[in-house]
Structure 1
Amino acid sequence: MPLTADQITRFLKSVHPYDALPEDALAALVPQFEPWAVEQDFPVYDLGDRLHGVFIVYEGKIEVRDDNDVVVSHLGVRNSFGERGLMRDGIAVTSARAETSSVLLVLPSGPFRKLVDTYDVARKFFDRTRSDRPQERSLTTTLVDTLMAHDPVTCAPDATVQDAARLMRDRGISSLCVMQDNALTGFLTIRDLSGKVLAEGRPVDTPVSDIMARDLLTLPPTAIGSDVLHAMMEHRIGHIPIVQGNKLVGVVTQTDLTRFQAVSSAELVGEIAHAATVADMAKVTARIPQLLVQLVAGGNRHEVVTRLITDIADTVTRRLLAMAEATLGPAPVPYLWLACGSQGRQEQTGVSDQDNCLVLHDDVTPEQMPYFADLAKIVSDGLDVCGYFYCPGDMMATNPRWCQPVRVWRDYFARWIAKPDPEAQMLASVMFDLRPIGGDESLFTGLQSGTLKAASKNSIFVAHMISNSLKHTPPLGLLRGFATIRSGENRNTLDMKHNGVVPVVDLARIYALQGQLTEANTRARLKAAEGAGVLSPSGARDLLDAYDLIAESRLDHQVARVKAGEKPDNFLAPTDLSDFERSHLRDAFVVVKTLQSALGHGKGMLG
């Protein structure tokens, strides 16, 4: 398949870590890529082959298998594979074949090694992702605290076995911790009920204390996943209580280990891509919180975690588009579904609403518009079922205002730029984060570049956008304290979205506007702004470090809530942090406030 340098460049700008490379480095790298068109079932490489390059899926699907011929992952568009082989003397440690007719971009081993040796972002990415490595190795680095159920179900020793059985049935669990005077005295499993009660014909009012296990093997929450696995294998048990001091803090089961090993972004993407119904997809997306826990526990940086989670939302959207077309028939004219907000920036976390729009070909007629209204409803309703709730501000393709031909969109942007009233500033801020998800991407290319050029040249519009971006301020109080929320259900917490990451997101958007930069991702924008001279090297370093700390703190908070059996949110209580953590988080907010002040006083170019 012939691909132009411009097509490859646009594609790589949507793929990490290439999107974080300096413009000149990316331009030099693009000619090194070799497009491969392969048919279904084509063996890309076999186990033990000498690899001569790393692969990126431009189009289609690839299946990767390990040395036991077990499927490790199903890879789709933008996924890389083969890099671990190149990092191990060039010998393939997996095999790969095309699940469908596919187009691959191949970066030869020489340029690949130079890329990894030259740029930290590439070295860190390929060292961390290891997409063709069996996932079970992560148990050797994962704390039990991440794996265990944090609120184990208990019963008293004098409870009857019938009561215990009913409790297990009603709670959908396979074991109970037996507690007396707040101390763990025994453990009961379904196997005990079947083997010691049912098989021996004991009465249903037999006390639990007669059949429970008493000599218990326990582990502390500082143990790692492999400790649990080894203990289970050695002692032939399927449940291990987790005890800190004399206090029961959790339970780990074989099911917990299996679930942890099974959850990966590639696995979820593969299941969604082949889901038959919206309900099937919703069951998959319900596992995103556990994926969040696993990714953070594995030491992945926030930009890797949010990108992988966003990939799942992208796949859900494309699957829903395919379902809509299967129901409604082929689209009457070309269209493009775009995401904005956190999905557009590839920065989704464990809690996200949907922000999207439709750009239609200018040939669309009024008689054809109902087709796209129906398509938008099918997709938007499906996203809501899958956990991406409706946008409170109705920034969705179901709103006729955001389902329009290219010419209308061009007029929208022209009017917002010419008359930057508050609504125009808000809408422009949202729409500058647009990213194509499914459909004809050519509908967006000229629209984006033309809008950026016109907007950057209108000093009044830029000034209004700067003013609008400074409305979200870091939560800094007097005397080195935090300004927490004063009332309501989130009282005494920090809003790590609107007062945490959003101020940096807004700054990065302004820098991108000033430099006519097409990147949507916040980190990529900051790096590009430094490369374009919009942001000084020292300003870029400080802001990137501050953003990383704020974003990591937000993810850590969401993970803590998931592990506690709660829904992830953005409201962090400073009292949950150590003095050290509070001090560094406040320093990060000070950096953001300083950059905001510089921008507000016309010093944004120097940062």
Structure 2
Amino acid sequence: MNNELLPNIVSFLQTISPFDLLPQTALNDIAQTVDILLLGPEETISHEDNATHLYIIRTGVVQQNNLDGTLRAKLGSEDIFGFNLQQNDSEFGYSIFAIENTLLYRFDYTSLMASVEAYPQVASSLALSLKTRLRAQDSKQDNQQHAHQNYLRPNSDIADSTIAIASPTDTIQAVAHQMRNVVGVSCAFIVDENKHLIGMITDKDMTKRVVAQAKNVHDPISSIMTQEIHTVYEDDLVMSAVQLMMKHNIQNIPVLNHQKQVTGFITPQHLIQNDSVQSIFLLDKIRHADSISTLIDLSKQRSAVFQGMMESNSSPSIIGQVLSMIYDAFTYRLIELAIEQFGQPPCKFTWIVAGSHARNEVHLASDQDNAIILADDATESDRIYFNHFSMYVCKALSELDYTLCKGRFMAATPKWCQKAEIWQEYYRKWSNNPEYELLLNLNVFLEIRPIYGDEALFDSVDSCRHELVSNNMQLTVALVRNALRTRPPLGIFKHLVLEKDGNNNKVLNIKKAAISCMVDFIRIYSLLQESTALNTTERMEFLHQVGVLNDSTYQDLNETYHYANRLRFQHQLKAIQNDTPIDSQLQPDLFGSFERQHLKDAFRIVSNFQELMKMKFGV
């Protein structure tokens, strides 16, 4: 190596991630090992079978082709490649040639990794394993401790184990005495002879059901106890307790062991004391909001909750679930306000959500995908009530920055406010005749989840949906064809065919290019396996457990999905900070070389899986 070139090489490396994390001395050592290659147009890179090199493009353009001759990627200045020139279990082999005069820096991979061994973040970013590289890019702050990880703790960690236990024959007075004077808690749990939970009573129940109704305090507690109880297990995540509280508007959640015995309980106060997170406070405020204007004020806190989670490096999965819980809470409270406005519903109904909301994958740019299932005995007069009712809720949601759906997939659209029997007919038609227009409707309502109303009504439709769309090969082939309409872009970013935003900036829609692609094909494989899971991450875990995805494929897909969502959330965080519109449109020109390389890695994983899916289903 000509020592006169060293300063130039070092200064170049200092501008490229992850080398910019290295100290000057390490960069000097690495620069002395570099080989400089000059390639002319059409000239290929040859490599030895027993050697692995890492290349950085200083100037010029190279093209990577798969072994069948198809384009793998185009790379430009500052791009890094060469991790997997040899074919291995998780990567297809490829060839490389220069498109124009190109200057390359080549490093012996083994020597390079020895030089950065003392810098774990850099070593992970340069790992041969693609999933390790993506994980390294996404977890630069993984060593930070943050309150939101408490959502991932087991319920037993925060549950209050000081509990009042009673038998169904105990008197109301005896149970009240135990709650108030012996144990000092706000609720009591009623168990049978096997210690299994059969009922519960709270201090508020005592006021409403005993004092207000002048109930005889010597009656058995079974005469006033609540029998329909929502519970969680000790080893369930705290997130599950929060979701139950929001979904059913309840304050006390019994915690059970796997023998169905009560070991404790969780209240919002326990969550606040143990988490100190803004989202718990916000959910509680939403529940007690008395007007739309109050909810509008509270909706502004959603961004603060999001920023807090991002700054503490919460996982995209947790962020999506928390934002979904907040969306659920706003919707639930608006439905209650609508009932106050229009009176009690004239028939049974269920308000459902669909799409990313149903999957608990909400982000800050999520719009509305909702609908209403009406009882089969609903009259025309009932429909008029629900027309006004749904318009009230949907309009209010839009004022809370949950934008109206451009495709009008909302309860305020008469087509999506129908009797259960009509919904069942919809699914029969969509699944048996998956033409494109019908498939568009089905794609939205392939995942549905109840927010408010009669759950039996929802179950009648959901069981029909599940039966019709699961392991349906005709529908599967149609879904595959539809999923393959969108392919992730591969190439030099400046040469990509990108969309333009309102400011004429060239942008990449990360939702369309990666996230939706993955949601689609994970959904397809899940439906074939008759999985009842809705969340994409949970579906991947299921497919891994049943052997559809091997360890390597599962890890690649999981890391890629996680990484793509992290990019979207980072973009939306910057939009909040810069007071610009919140969307999923990334500006690739603002990315560093290593970020671009990681994104291309992610696209390549998606593209490879799409190719496998195409071959499997012969489309």
TM-score range normalised by the length of the shorter chain:
0.5 to 0.7
Amino acid at match of 1:492: K
- Which residue is equivalent to 2:457? 443
Deviations 1:378-427 (A, max 9, x none): 11111111111111110000111100111000000101111111011111
Matches of 1:566 and 1:575, distance apart in 2: 17
Please state if 1:593 is matched with 2:613.
no
Matches of 2:334 and 2:606, distance apart in 1: 38
**Residues 283 and 490 of structure 1: CA distance in aligned 2, closer, same or farther (over 3 Å):** farther
- TM-superposed deviation, 1:458: 3.2
1:154-553 map, 5 Å? 264-477=278-491, 483-485=497-499, 489=503, 491-553=505-567
- TM-superposed deviation, 1:328: 1.7
**Residues 520 and 492 of structure 1: CA distance in aligned 2, closer, same or farther (over 3 Å):** same
Question: Helix, strand or coil: the match of 1:320?
Answer: helix
**Residues 59 and 392 of structure 1: CA distance in aligned 2, closer, same or farther (over 3 Å):** farther
Please state if 1:107 is matched with 2:237.
no
**Is the contact made by 1:335 and 1:359 (CA closer than 8 Å) also made in structure 2?**
yes
Matches of 2:434 and 2:250, distance apart in 1: 47
Question: Helix, strand or coil: the match of 1:493?
Answer: strand
Deviations 1:153-174 (A, max 9, x none): xxxxxxxxxxxxxxxxxxxxxx
Matches of 1:339 and 1:356, distance apart in 2: 4
Matches of 1:294 and 1:547, distance apart in 2: 22
**Is the contact made by 1:341 and 1:355 (CA closer than 8 Å) also made in structure 2?**
yes
- TM-superposed deviation, 1:132: 4.2
Matches of 2:549 and 2:458, distance apart in 1: 27
**Residues 363 and 289 of structure 1: CA distance in aligned 2, closer, same or farther (over 3 Å):** same
- Which residue is equivalent to 2:190? none
Structure 1 residue corresponding to 2:572, chosen from 540, 558, 576: 558
Question: Helix, strand or coil: the match of 2:450?
Answer: strand
Deviations 1:481-513 (A, max 9, x none): 755336764532211122131111111221222
Amino acid at match of 2:297: K
Matches of 2:573 and 2:603, distance apart in 1: 22
Question: Helix, strand or coil: the match of 1:475?
Answer: coil
**Is the contact made by 1:358 and 1:404 (CA closer than 8 Å) also made in structure 2?**
yes
**Residues 507 and 457 of structure 1: CA distance in aligned 2, closer, same or farther (over 3 Å):** closer
Matches of 1:442 and 1:457, distance apart in 2: 24
Q: Which structure has more RCO (C-alpha within 8 Å, separation ≥ 6)?
A: 2
Structure 1 segments unaligned to the other structure (5+ residues): 1-15, 20-33, 48-57, 64-76, 87-95, 113-129, 137-262
Matches of 1:35 and 1:430, distance apart in 2: 47
**TM-score in terms of structure 2 length:** 0.57
Amino acid at match of 1:574: P
**Residues 103 and 427 of structure 1: CA distance in aligned 2, closer, same or farther (over 3 Å):** same
Matches of 2:601 and 2:494, distance apart in 1: 9
- Which residue is equivalent to 1:579? 593
Deviations 1:39-88 (A, max 9, x none): 9x9789889xxxxxxxxxx999999xxxxxxxxxxxxx99989999x9xx
Moved more, 551-560 or 533-542: 533-542
**Is the contact made by 2:522 and 2:536 (CA closer than 8 Å) also made in structure 1?**
yes
**Is the contact made by 1:335 and 1:360 (CA closer than 8 Å) also made in structure 2?**
yes
Moved more, 546-555 or 557-566: 557-566
- TM-superposed deviation, 1:450: 2.9
1:38-53 map, 5 Å? none
Amino acid at match of 1:288: R
**Residues 106 and 378 of structure 1: CA distance in aligned 2, closer, same or farther (over 3 Å):** same
Matches of 1:481 and 1:111, distance apart in 2: 60
**Residues 352 and 594 of structure 1: CA distance in aligned 2, closer, same or farther (over 3 Å):** same
Matches of 1:350 and 1:333, distance apart in 2: 34
Amino acid at match of 1:273: R
1:16-27 map, 5 Å? none
Deviations 1:444-497 (A, max 9, x none): 224223323322343222101111112222232369975533676453221112
**Residues 540 and 351 of structure 1: CA distance in aligned 2, closer, same or farther (over 3 Å):** same
- TM-superposed deviation, 1:105: 3.4
Matches of 2:581 and 2:513, distance apart in 1: 20
Matches of 1:538 and 1:35, distance apart in 2: 51
Matches of 1:61 and 1:546, distance apart in 2: 46
Structure 1 vs Structure 2 CA RMSD: 4.1
Matches of 2:379 and 2:614, distance apart in 1: 45
Question: Helix, strand or coil: the match of 1:288?
Answer: helix
Matches of 1:597 and 1:107, distance apart in 2: 46
- Which residue is equivalent to 1:602? 616
**Is the contact made by 1:420 and 1:464 (CA closer than 8 Å) also made in structure 2?**
yes
Please state if 1:570 is matched with 2:600.
no
Amino acid at match of 2:323: I
- TM-superposed deviation, 1:134: 5.9
Matches of 1:404 and 1:316, distance apart in 2: 23
- TM-superposed deviation, 1:109: 10
Matches of 2:602 and 2:564, distance apart in 1: 7
Amino acid at match of 1:106: V
**Residues 552 and 564 of structure 1: CA distance in aligned 2, closer, same or farther (over 3 Å):** same
- TM-superposed deviation, 1:349: 1.3
Matches of 1:382 and 1:36, distance apart in 2: 46
Amino acid at match of 2:585: F
Matches of 2:282 and 2:387, distance apart in 1: 29
Amino acid at match of 2:290: A
Aligned residues: 398
Matches of 2:495 and 2:529, distance apart in 1: 35
**Is the contact made by 2:544 and 2:551 (CA closer than 8 Å) also made in structure 1?**
yes
**Residues 461 and 302 of structure 1: CA distance in aligned 2, closer, same or farther (over 3 Å):** same
**Is the contact made by 1:340 and 1:430 (CA closer than 8 Å) also made in structure 2?**
yes
**Residues 36 and 554 of structure 1: CA distance in aligned 2, closer, same or farther (over 3 Å):** farther
**Is the contact made by 2:420 and 2:457 (CA closer than 8 Å) also made in structure 1?**
yes
**Residues 444 and 531 of structure 1: CA distance in aligned 2, closer, same or farther (over 3 Å):** farther
Matches of 1:411 and 1:279, distance apart in 2: 39
**Is the contact made by 1:36 and 1:105 (CA closer than 8 Å) also made in structure 2?**
no
Matches of 1:312 and 1:322, distance apart in 2: 15
Structure 2 segments unaligned to the other structure (5+ residues): 1-150, 155-164, 169-174, 186-198, 205-228, 239-244, 262-269
Matches of 1:133 and 1:529, distance apart in 2: 37
- TM-superposed deviation, 1:575: 2.8
Matches of 2:283 and 2:486, distance apart in 1: 34
**Is the contact made by 1:286 and 1:387 (CA closer than 8 Å) also made in structure 2?**
no
Matches of 1:397 and 1:552, distance apart in 2: 31
1:52-67 map, 5 Å? none
Matches of 1:415 and 1:394, distance apart in 2: 20
Matches of 1:479 and 1:102, distance apart in 2: 51
**Is the contact made by 2:575 and 2:582 (CA closer than 8 Å) also made in structure 1?**
yes
Amino acid at match of 2:466: L
